Chains A and B, each alone.
Chain A
Amino acid sequence: MQVILQWLGTLPGAAGQGLVWGLMAIGLYITYKVLDLADLTVDGSICTGAAVCAVLLTSGVNIWLAMLCALLAGMLAGLVTGWLHTVFGIPAILAGILTQLMLWSVNLLVMSGSAIVPITRLKYADKVLITSGDTDIYRTIVILAVFVSVIVAALYWFFGTDFGASLRATGNNPEMSRAQGINTNLTKVFGLSLSNGIVALAGALLAQQQGAAEINMGRGAIVIGLAAIIIGEALCPRLVTNFAIRLLCVAGGAIIYWFVFQTVVFLGLPSELLKMLSALVVACFLGIPYVKKTYFSKKKKTEVKRHA
C-alpha cells in the first residue's frame, strides 16, 4: 500500500514533465510528420531556448519577454537548418546535425561559457511562470496545459490556412506541390523554423521547471519527442483525422512516456540505462511497421497488383 502511494506521488511530477516534452514533441511533429523530415536540430534548439530564457531572466528581463526571445532564437536555428537544406542542398538530416553542433557553441556563448545557468527558486520564484517546486506542481500542470492548448489551437488554425495547407502538401508530395505552384523550399524553411521555435519555447519552460539551463539538457531530445509522437499516434484512433486532436494525442503520448519513465525509475532501474531504454523503445516502434510488412505479410502479391 505504502509503495503504491509513493508511486502515485511521483505521477504529478511526471505529468508536468510530460506536458513540457509534449510541447516539444508537438514542435517536432511539424517536421517529422507534416514535412516528412527528420530534423536533428531540436537537440540543440531545446537547449538554446533554455539558455536564452535563463540568461535573460537572471539578468532581470521579464519572463514573457525572455520566453519570446527563446522562441525567436529557436526559429533562427530552424532557419539555419532550412537554409543549409534548401539553398545548399544538404540532406535534411545532415543539415540538422550541422546546426546542432553549431548550437552547442552558440549555447555555451549565450551562457557565457558556463555549463549551467541556475534559476534559483528562492530568488526567482515570483518571476518565473512555472517552478521546479513540488508544492506548486498542480499550478504548474495547469499553466502548462494552457500553454499546450494555446499552441495546439494556433497550429490548428495555421495548418488550416492556405499557407499552412501548402506546408502539408509539401510534406505529402513535393513534386505535386511544385506543380501546383508551391515554393517547396520556402515551405520547408518555414516549417523547420516554426518547429524549432516551439521546441525552444519548450526548452524555456524546461529550464524553469528544472530550475536551470544546462548545456547537456538537449541530448537525446529528439528520441523523447519521437517516442511521444509514436505513443500519441498509437493512442489516437485511426479514424480521427482532426489535426488538433492528433496534436493533443502527441502531448498525451509525452505524458505517458514520463509516467512509464518515472515508474521504471521507481522500480529501481539504474538511471544510466534510461537513455538506452528510450532509444530501444523508439527503435522497436519505428521498426515494427517495416518488420510486419516485410516478414509477416501474406498479402504481398495483392499489394503489388494494387499498385501496378
Chain B
Amino acid sequence: MLEIKNICKTFNAGTVNEKCVFDGLSLKLEEGDFVTVIGGNGAGKSTMLNIVSGAYTPDEGSISIDGVDVTRLPEYKRAKYIGRVFQDPRMGTATDMWVEENLAVADRRGMRRGLRWSITNKDRARYKQVLSTLGLGLEDRLSTKMGLLSGGQRQAVTLLMAAMKKPKLLLLDEHTAALDPKTAAKVLEITDKLISENKLTALMVTHNMRDAITHGNRLIMMHGGRIILDIRGEEKKKLTVEALLEQFSKTSGSEFASDRALLS
C-alpha cells in the first residue's frame, strides 16, 4: 500500500547545522497493515510521517501509495490518499469553525470544492450519526465551535475527519501524547475501532512502548534515521517492554534515549 524507497533527507544542507536525518530509508506497508512506530528522540519518526504526507519533500528516493508515485505531489493533492492526525489537538481542526463545518471540510477531501452549499440537512444527519459512534455526546454539539471542545474530544473528531473518506493511508503522529492517560486510552480505542471497521492501512508513531505493543499487527523501531527492528504477526504478540528495550540496546549499541518513553 505504502512504499518508501531509499529516502534521503538532509536539513540545513551546507550550514553548520546540517543534519542528515535519512540516508536511504526504505519501508513497505501491505494493505491493512497497522504499524506502530517507536524510537528515541531524533530517530526520525515524525520526519518520516512528514515526508510521507508531503509536508517535507525528500532530497532523494520515492514514495508511492497504492502504486501511485506521489513523491512530487504537493501536500494538498496527496491528501486524497492520506488521513492525518497530529500530536497537538489544535493542529487537526479549524478552531473557529463549528464541529459540523470541520466535518464538511473533511468530507470534501479529494473532491472539487465548488459553489455547492456546504452543509445540507442530509449531510447534517450523516455527521450526527458518525459523531454518535464516538460515544462522547458530540452529536448534539454540531454547531459548537471546535475550539470549545476538550483536547480529547478534538482528537476524536480529527480521527473521524481523517477516516471519513476511507483514506488509503492513515498517519497518526503521537496523537495521544498531549492527552491525559484516561482520555488517551479512549482515543486509542476509537483509533482501533476506526481502523478495523474501515480496514485502513495505518502508521502510528507513539512514545508509549506498551501502546506500540498492544496495538497494530506490526511494530517498527527507529534509531538514527534507520529502521532497526521490524516485528510482526505472532512474534509481535509475544513482545514485552523489557524485551523491546533489550533488543534496542543490542541492535543500536546504545541506551534507549527517550525520557517520555521510559516514564510512561
* A residues whose Cβ falls under 8 Å from a Cβ of B: 157-158, 160-166, 168-169, 172-173, 175-184, 241, 308
Contacts and interface: CB of A to CB of B under 8 A. Distances in A.
Contacts of B178: 308
Given A169-B97, A172-B94, A183 B76 contact: yes
A176 B91 contact: yes
Contact of B75 (A172, A173, A179): A179
Interface in B145-175: 145, 161
Interface string B93-105: 1111110011011
Interface centre among A160, A173, A175, A182 (most CB of B within 10 A): A173
B50 to A, nearest CB: 11
Given A165-B104, A173-B93, A181 B117 contact: no
B114 A162 contact: yes
Given A172-B94, A176-B93, A182 B105 contact: yes
A11 to B, nearest CB: 35
Interface string B68-97: 000000111101101010100011111111
Contact of A161 (B76, B86, B115): B115
19 contacts: A160-B118, A161-B118, A165-B105, A165-B118, A166-B108, A172-B94, A172-B97, A175-B91, A176-B91, A176-B94, A177-B94, A179-B79, A179-B82, A181-B79, A182-B79, A183-B74, A183-B76, A184-B76, A241-B98
A181 B97 contact: no
A308 B151 CA distance: 10
A178 B75 contact: yes
B97 A180 contact: no
Contacts of A163: 113-115
Interface in B99-136: 101-102, 104-106, 108-110, 113-119
Contacts of B191: none
Contacts of A157: 117
A178 B82 CA distance: 11
A227 B96 CA distance: 22
A160 to B, nearest CB: 6
